[in-house]
Structure 1
Amino acid sequence: MATDQNKFQAIISHCKEYGFIFQSSEIYDGLSAVYDYGQYGAELKKNIRDYWWKSMTQMHENIVGIDSAIFMHPTIWKASGHVDNFSDPMIDNKDSNKRYRVDHLIEGFAETLAADAAAALIADMEALLKENDFAGLKKLIEDNQIKCAVSGTVNWTDVRQFNLMFSTQLGSVSEEASEIYLRPETAQGIFVNFLNVQKTGRMKIPFGIAQVGKAFRNEIVARQFVFRMREFEQMEMQFFIRPGTQKEWYAYWKEERMKWHQSLGLNPANLQYHDHVKLAHYADAAVDIEYNFPIGFKEVEGIHSRTDFDLSQHQKFSGKKMQYFDPEINQNYIPYVIETSIGLDRCCLMILSESYEEQDLSTADKQDSRVVLKFPAKLAPIKLAIFPLTKKDGLPEIAKELMASCKTSFYCFYEEKDAIGKRYRRQDAIGTPFCVTIDHQTKEDGTVTIRYRDTMEQERIPLAQVKEMVMRKIME
């Protein structure tokens, strides 16, 4: 597994320096595995979210969106299987008292091995996980002399399950409060609203319900920046279908979701499918779309054929019928479901990883370099930066007129300070695709200099065409 830890650390540093992502509660020494999005990170995240939402709800006539609550009735999580099954195998080192997720511990060790040995070790681990063979997993760790990073010893406890849900109290007085959970996924909010949406929207199967929202998991070993966090955001769509058609729809959504990732401008060589070896309790087929991060190929999105498990369970636990009458075949049935579930934070990290470049621009006469984020224009936090060449001679007034005409349509940035070269470099570092400079020639012939981020080429275009050109690029 090829990794580039130097690039990964450079991206993390860049995100902090340029206002993309900060450690949460940093002035209090931070909160582990929780992050805040800064001014440009929030815009990037919003643009990805909006692009996904549009691709699901606006571009499909049979998919609608909802926004369900984070707090839900606790029986929902019993019905869904999360109370009994939402857990990961953990192991503790007796000398350091440090707890590890077993698969992370073994995967971390595998990264230090040659490719063939690493593949064999991962295959052994996946086979044991599939069988829930905890004794075998411990033996695998001990046989390979996998050490604790803190103590350096192989003195391990037995492997056991650890539930990942956060619990809290709902009620005004602690004695009267009842235990509820912060949702570990957004999917159940869709399932419990299946009939509400179907009836009020007069939806006919096949149809989908999409949702974007926060989810919470008590990850014991949360690591790798925003890749694995305790508070994160999901973009999920549950597609309700007639039983017996799940293979066709699973294949359809598997292909559609890969096309969506490629539409983000990602190199196809950096994307791959990974079929699940061990299926979740609700699935009859599951695949991940993985991206080649600097830390290796990792899951960004899952496509799952969930059968009728969820709606059947909610029918059983609630006592309410979750059936659909299909007029085409004159039958009542509980629909099957195909799920697409993508992590928005992981998607942000994916776009940052794909876009980040360190370029050496040195010539024989001069040392020079730049860091650039080559975001697709539609995702870039700022679409257009507007620079008057000087602070006088009426140039700022012209620049501000352009700003006023563009900012209602897309995010712009205005700056007068510093030499024009320094201004360009700052915009390169935050991924702004276009910079326009207003100079004295603008007053003479109504043209401006537009500079393209990726090539650094410049050309003169009419001032009146700037807005239309940027709009066209962000719609591509």
Structure 2
Amino acid sequence: MSNPTQKPSLENTQLKDIVAHAKEYGFVFPSSEIYDGLQAVYDYGPNGVELKNNLKQLWWRAMTQLNQNVVGIDAAIFMHPLTWKASGHIDGFSDPMIDNLDSKKRYRADVLLEEKAAHYENVGDKVRADMLLADMGRLLTAEDLTGVRQLIIDEKIACPVSGTANWTEVRQFNLMFSTQVGSVEGDSTLIYLRPETAQGIFVNFLNVQKSARMKIPFGIAQIGKAFRNEIVARQFIFRMREFEQMEMQFFVRPGTEMEWYQQWKETRLRWHEALGLPAEKLRFHDHDKLAHYANAAVDIEFEFPFGFKEIEGIHSRTDFDLTQHQALSRKKQQFFDNDLDENGKAYGNYVPFVVETSVGADRLFLATLCQAYTEETITEGEGEQQQTKTRTVLRLHPALAPVKAAIFPLVRKDGLPEKATEIFDELRHDFRLVYEERDAIGKRYTRQDLIGTPFCIAVDHQTLEDNTITVRHRDLREQTRMPISELRNYIGEAVSFKRIFEKL
């Protein structure tokens, strides 16, 4: 990560290339682009929605299918407004905001300081980085916003746009979007778009526990949209105002939460590595300032082109949420545990503690895209015809690729299109495929490389004679001749989620 007072041209170029690729090849579009877009809001295109759905389905199955004690729900976006009173969002869901008077740009004060600390760490001064983060954490915990502003000034942090340090006071900015329910304005009720998905799980704790006959420890998983009126929404889809979370709240016996916290930390890190994110680009980052509900918190960070940033949080939330909802709703949120303790006595009724794992689906999408995007120099042809060129390819895990295989007739005649269509029809119920017969086959291969398709199947004249085809592999560009009858198993084995689950 770079000094916030400088513009990291190489990193910016890297991200710009990925953003341009995402738009050109149908992964992510600016929302409402024909009206010049809406800041920090994006739409997923034909290939993007397939990749994102694959990531979500993989997470869902890893949680609910591989863990017998985790079940799922899908809670509503709108919730009773007292939900957010109990959770602390109405009174305390805010970020420290600061403006530069010259550029008129707004920033999160804590992000400016974190980026400065990351700069110190990158230049080898970890001691200074740790001291800065500790000072920031102390000031934010004490809600000393004047001290936060002074720390920014003392660190000589300037606005990246104006280059000046002409800062306003730091003030808190509530991040919740509000709206009204009711047909008549005067009689309407103020409600909020949920800023997180976790509360939908907590208010359904007893419903799920009883209906699914779950016993502590158990988890409730959910994938859903959340909405935050971010002060600074930037870095493409990394920080948006409308985003999707994949969360699991794991309910445990009080006193065991730290054991489960450690276990879920390790489990979740392995999951990201199994997806194809390399270990050297992943790290844990313990929170310097704990949220009001937590007694431990850590982020799993991925090294994006703009530095290490969070893609998942693991938090020990104690019994804060259920206790708060119990107090405000006046409905008990307790579990009767008839297991025996070391003295042979039943644990009885208690409010469970909670360990949370929360993945940003959009951030995971971006991390996957950044890791897969590859520009490499390749050699084509032989002898005097040999030439080198740059190839762009998305090295997505086959299980995540938007398209699993592309089917190409070598030419548009001699019965080859008909045979290729026959193969397409035979396999399309099992895999997402594309059929294409336009342009030279080399150009067709290139298009599929650009969207990450792992296999291209060429139908040629020999196919009509012996029912064999050529399978071209994306990463090594090698070709394998095989019978059509083996295709289903060959592709199915490569693109199965099982290949990822095996690594867990």
Return the TM-score normalized by structure 1. 0.97
Whether contact under 8 Å (1:264, 1:376) holds in the other structure is yes
In the other structure, the counterpart of 2:459 is 438
* Offset from partner CA, 1:262-283 (integer Å, 9 cap, x none): 1102211111111111111011
- Per mean C-alpha deviation after superposition, the further-off stretch among 107-116 and 308-317 is 107-116
Q: Secondary structure at the match of 1:327?
A: strand
**Structure 2 residue runs without a partner (length 5+):** 3-9, 341-345, 500-504
User: Once the 2 structures are TM-superposed, how far is the Cα of residue 171 of structure 1 from its aligned partner?
Assistant: 1.0
User: Once the 2 structures are TM-superposed, how far is the Cα of residue 108 of structure 1 from its aligned partner?
Assistant: 4.5
Equivalent residues in 2 for 1:271-286, closer than 5 Å: 271-286=282-297
User: Once the 2 structures are TM-superposed, how far is the Cα of residue 118 of structure 1 from its aligned partner?
Assistant: 7.7
Equivalent residues in 2 for 1:441-460, closer than 5 Å: 441-460=462-481
Q: Aligned partner of 2:14: which letter?
A: K
CA RMSD of aligned residues (A): 1.6
Q: Aligned partner of 1:467: which letter?
A: R
In the other structure, the counterpart of 1:245 is 256
C-alpha distance in 1 between matches for 2:248 and 2:157: 39
In the other structure, the counterpart of 1:84 is 91
C-alpha distance in 1 between matches for 2:359 and 2:455: 30
Counterpart of 1:6 (choices 8, 13, 16) is 13
Q: Secondary structure at the match of 2:110?
A: helix
Whether contact under 8 Å (1:128, 1:134) holds in the other structure is no
Q: Aligned partner of 2:296: which letter?
A: A
In the other structure, the counterpart of 2:412 is 391
Whether contact under 8 Å (1:107, 1:122) holds in the other structure is no
Q: Aligned partner of 2:151: which letter?
A: L
Q: Secondary structure at the match of 1:361?
A: strand
Q: Aligned partner of 1:385: which letter?
A: A
C-alpha distance in 2 between matches for 1:388 and 1:150: 53
C-alpha distance in 1 between matches for 2:260 and 2:112: 36
Q: Aligned partner of 1:376: which letter?
A: H
* Offset from partner CA, 1:27-71 (integer Å, 9 cap, x none): 111100000000000000000000000000111111100000000
C-alpha distance in 2 between matches for 1:125 and 1:257: 25
User: Once the 2 structures are TM-superposed, how far is the Cα of residue 109 of structure 1 from its aligned partner?
Assistant: 5.0
Change in 2 beyond 3 A, CA 1:403/1:332: same
In the other structure, the counterpart of 2:230 is 219
Change in 2 beyond 3 A, CA 1:369/1:119: farther
Change in 2 beyond 3 A, CA 1:336/1:350: same
In the other structure, the counterpart of 1:105 is 112
C-alpha distance in 1 between matches for 2:403 and 2:322: 43
User: Once the 2 structures are TM-superposed, how far is the Cα of residue 119 of structure 1 from its aligned partner?
Assistant: 6.5
Residue 20 (str. 1) matches residue 31 (str. 2): no
Residue-pair matches, total:
476
C-alpha distance in 2 between matches for 1:64 and 1:372: 37
In the other structure, the counterpart of 2:272 is 261
Q: Secondary structure at the match of 2:403?
A: coil
C-alpha distance in 1 between matches for 2:118 and 2:336: 52
Residue 120 (str. 1) matches residue 128 (str. 2): yes
In the other structure, the counterpart of 1:354 is 371
* Offset from partner CA, 1:60-85 (integer Å, 9 cap, x none): 11110000000000110010011111
Q: Secondary structure at the match of 1:455?
A: coil
In the other structure, the counterpart of 2:60 is 53
In the other structure, the counterpart of 2:493 is 472
User: Once the 2 structures are TM-superposed, how far is the Cα of residue 131 of structure 1 from its aligned partner?
Assistant: 3.3
Return the TM-score normalized by structure 2. 0.91
C-alpha distance in 2 between matches for 1:354 and 1:100: 28
Change in 2 beyond 3 A, CA 1:394/1:123: farther
Q: Secondary structure at the match of 2:209?
A: helix
User: Once the 2 structures are TM-superposed, how far is the Cα of residue 116 of structure 1 from its aligned partner?
Assistant: 3.6
C-alpha distance in 2 between matches for 1:116 and 1:59: 42
In the other structure, the counterpart of 1:335 is 352
- Per mean C-alpha deviation after superposition, the further-off stretch among 451-460 and 96-105 is 96-105
C-alpha distance in 2 between matches for 1:22 and 1:458: 34
Whether contact under 8 Å (1:442, 1:448) holds in the other structure is yes
Q: Aligned partner of 1:65: which letter?
A: G
Change in 2 beyond 3 A, CA 1:287/1:112: closer
Whether contact under 8 Å (2:117, 2:133) holds in the other structure is no
C-alpha distance in 2 between matches for 1:102 and 1:157: 11
User: Once the 2 structures are TM-superposed, how far is the Cα of residue 9 of structure 1 from its aligned partner?
Assistant: 1.2
User: Once the 2 structures are TM-superposed, how far is the Cα of residue 150 of structure 1 from its aligned partner?
Assistant: 3.8
C-alpha distance in 2 between matches for 1:292 and 1:366: 34
Q: Secondary structure at the match of 2:23?
A: helix
User: Once the 2 structures are TM-superposed, how far is the Cα of residue 117 of structure 1 from its aligned partner?
Assistant: 5.0
Change in 2 beyond 3 A, CA 1:204/1:246: same
In the other structure, the counterpart of 1:200 is 211
C-alpha distance in 2 between matches for 1:51 and 1:137: 41
C-alpha distance in 2 between matches for 1:199 and 1:232: 31
In the other structure, the counterpart of 2:185 is 174
Whether contact under 8 Å (1:388, 1:416) holds in the other structure is yes
In the other structure, the counterpart of 2:145 is 134
User: Once the 2 structures are TM-superposed, how far is the Cα of residue 128 of structure 1 from its aligned partner?
Assistant: 2.2
Whether contact under 8 Å (1:212, 1:236) holds in the other structure is yes
Residue 326 (str. 1) matches residue 347 (str. 2): no
User: Once the 2 structures are TM-superposed, how far is the Cα of residue 110 of structure 1 from its aligned partner?
Assistant: 5.5
- Per mean C-alpha deviation after superposition, the further-off stretch among 448-457 and 86-95 is 86-95
In the other structure, the counterpart of 1:154 is 165
Q: Secondary structure at the match of 1:396?
A: helix
User: Once the 2 structures are TM-superposed, how far is the Cα of residue 145 of structure 1 from its aligned partner?
Assistant: 2.7
* Offset from partner CA, 1:148-182 (integer Å, 9 cap, x none): 23443322121111111111111111111111110
Whether contact under 8 Å (1:106, 1:122) holds in the other structure is no
Change in 2 beyond 3 A, CA 1:29/1:117: farther
Change in 2 beyond 3 A, CA 1:119/1:451: farther
C-alpha distance in 2 between matches for 1:142 and 1:96: 17
C-alpha distance in 1 between matches for 2:463 and 2:35: 50
User: Once the 2 structures are TM-superposed, how far is the Cα of residue 111 of structure 1 from its aligned partner?
Assistant: 6.2
